[in-house]
């Protein structure tokens, strides 16, 4: 990697002040550190969020779960107050990744095959930053694209806990990211379905399935639906048609598991 300076602020305010020039946020580093090691980035300065206590921890208030942006996957996995979310966290990467990677880092990076964006979008989560709150529907804007401004930090994610939910990940065999991951969440006012891993547009909702499942939350509601392969990812591990097929299969499995 190229040489860089590192700062470890203790507060969100200090972190924002430290983010000058080409500096990048280090929030667990499970993507950024390999990128640096491959000399694919040269930020000059890293601002580590790992020393910021106010960004860590999980709080439950009624049916609302707030997770600090600096909370590692292992802590979310162990929490259990939003079971489907904890199960999702327990299957990200391996134990080393889960001990270092954070929800804020994952949400800010918005890898098109990451798991957390599916949970956030399907849950209608609120992305909390140092300056504002952003609805998930407005936050995720395509592969690695988000509503975040330059220097804006994801400080927390607020999840309304659904009545029923489940995440099904069909893994890309090498990376074990999602080849297709589907998060289904059932709320009193309707069902939301979010798909990760599949699309050139990044995480997205499958609205036709949402409507069908809102009317009838069972696998049979999906009969007759099909997913278009248009704009789905084509790579070594699967064609757009295969991913389209898997979206429906994984949605069905998530519904079954959530029911």
Partner 1 sequence: MPKDDGIGAATVRREDVRFLTGVGQYTDDIKAYGETVAVFARSTVANGVIKSIDTTTAAGMPGVLAIFTGEDFAEVGGNPAGWLINSRDGTPMHEPKRPVLAHGKVRHVGDAYAAVIAETLEQAKNAVEAIEADIEELDAIVNMKDALAGSNYVHDEIGTNQCFDWGWIEDNRDATDAAIKGAHHVTTLELVNNRLVPNAMEPRSSRAEYKAAGDEYVLHTTSQNPHLTRLLISAFVLGIPENKLTVIAPDVGGGFGSKIYHYGEEALVLAAAKKLGRPVTWTADRTEAFLTDAHGRDHVTKIELAMDAEGNFLAFRTETLANVGAYLSNFSTATPTFLHGTLMAGNYTVPNVYVNVKAVFTNTAPVDAYRGAGRPEATYSLERVIDKAAREIGRDPIELRRQNFIKPDQYPFASAAGLEYDSGNYDALMDKMEEVADMAGFAARRKASEAKGLLRGFGVNAYIEACGIAPSNLVGVLGSRVGLYDAATVRVNATGNLSVMVGAHSHGQGHETAFPQVVAEMLGIDASTIDIVHGDTSKIPFGMGTYGSRSLAVCGSAVVRATEKVINKAKKIAAHMLEVSDGDIELKDGQFSVAGTDKSVSFGEVALKAYIPHEFPLEDIEPGLEETAFYDPANFTYPSGAYCCEVELDPETGKVSVERMTAVDDFGNVINPMIVTGQVHGGLGQGIGQALLENTTYDENGQLLSASYMDYTMPRADDLPFYTVDHSQGNPCTHNPLGVKGCGEAGAIGSPPTVVNAVIDAMQSGGKNVTHIDMPVTPHRVWSAMQNA
- For residue 218 the two structure tokens come to 């069972």
Q: Which is nearer to partner 1, 88 or 246 (CB)?
A: 246
CA distance 217 to 52: 41
The pattern of x and - marking residues 143 through 172 that bind partner 1 according to CB under 8 A reads ---------------------------x--
Residues 238-257 that bind partner 1 (CB under 8 A): 238-239, 242, 245-246, 249
Query: Do 109 and 31 form a contact (C-beta atoms < 8 A)?
Result: yes
Instruction: Tell me the C-alpha to C-alpha distance, in Å, between residue 238 and each of 21, 31, 202.
Output: 39, 23, 16
Rounded-to-integer distance, Cα 86 and Cα 168, Å: 13
Instruction: Spell out the residues 6+ positions from residue 219 whose beta carbon is closer than 8 angstroms to its own.
Output: 252, 255, 256
The Cβ of residue 38 has, within 10 Å, a number of other Cβ atoms equal to: 9
> Least distance from C-beta 46 to partner 1, angstroms?
16
Alpha-helix runs per DSSP H in the chain? 12-18, 32-37, 73-79, 83-90, 95-100, 103-109, 116-122, 136-139, 207-215, 240-258
Stretch that binds partner 1, among 55-63, 66-74, 194-202, 234-242 (CB under 8 A): 234-242
Q: Which of the stretches 50-58, 75-83, 186-194, 236-244 binds partner 1 when contact is defined by CB under 8 A? A: 236-244
Least separation in angstroms between residue 242's CB and partner 1 is: 5
Q: 71 or 196: whose CB is closer to partner 1?
A: 196
Min dist. Cβ of residue 183 to partner 1 (A) = 18
Tokens of 184: 């289904």
CA proximity to 70, closest of 131, 19, 10, 20: 10
With CB under 8 A as the contact rule, the residue among 21, 62, 149, 174 that binds partner 1 is 174
User: Which of 13/95 has CB closer to partner 1?
Assistant: 95
Tell me the closest approach of the beta carbon of residue 226 to partner 1, in angstroms: 14
39 binds partner 1 (CB under 8 A): yes
Q: Do residues 215 and 223 touch, judged by C-beta distance below 8 A?
A: no
4 or 54: whose CB is closer to partner 1?
4
Taking the least distance from each CB to partner 1, the nearer of 73 and 248 is: 248
Residues that bind partner 1 in the complex, under the rule CB under 8 A:
1-3, 38-39, 170, 173-175, 236-239, 242, 245-246, 249
């Amino acid at each position: 990697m190229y040489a860089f300076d590192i700062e470890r602020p203790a507060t969100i305010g200090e972190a924002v002040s430290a983010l000058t020039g080409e500096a990048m946020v280090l929030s667990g580093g499970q993507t950024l550190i390999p990128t640096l090691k491959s000399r694919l980035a040269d930020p000059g300065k890293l601002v580590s969020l790992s020393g910021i206590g106010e960004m860590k921890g999980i709080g439950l208030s009624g049916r609302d779960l707030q997770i600090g942006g600096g909370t590692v996957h292992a802590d979310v996995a162990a929490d259990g107050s939003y079971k489907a979310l904890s199960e999702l966290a327990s299957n990200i990467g391996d134990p080393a990744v889960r001990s270092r990677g954070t929800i804020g880092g994952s949400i800010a990076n918005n890898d098109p095959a990451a798991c957390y964006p599916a949970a956030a979008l399907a849950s209608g989560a609120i992305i909390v930053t140092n300056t504002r709150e952003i609805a998930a529907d407005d936050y995720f804007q395509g592969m690695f694209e988000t509503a975040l401004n330059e220097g804006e930090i994801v400080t927390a994610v607020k999840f309304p806990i659904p009545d029923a939910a489940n995440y099904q990940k069909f893994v890309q065999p090498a990376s074990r990211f999602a080849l297709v991951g589907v998060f289904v969440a059932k709320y009193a006012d309707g069902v939301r379905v979010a798909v990760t891993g599949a699309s050139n547009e990044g995480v997205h909702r499958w609205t036709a399935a949402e409507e069908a499942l809102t009317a009838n939350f069972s696998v049979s509601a999906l009969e007759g639906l099909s997913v278009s392969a248009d704009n789905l990812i084509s790579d070594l591990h699967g064609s757009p048609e295969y991913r389209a097929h898997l979206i429906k299969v994984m949605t069905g499995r998530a519904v079954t598991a959530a029911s």
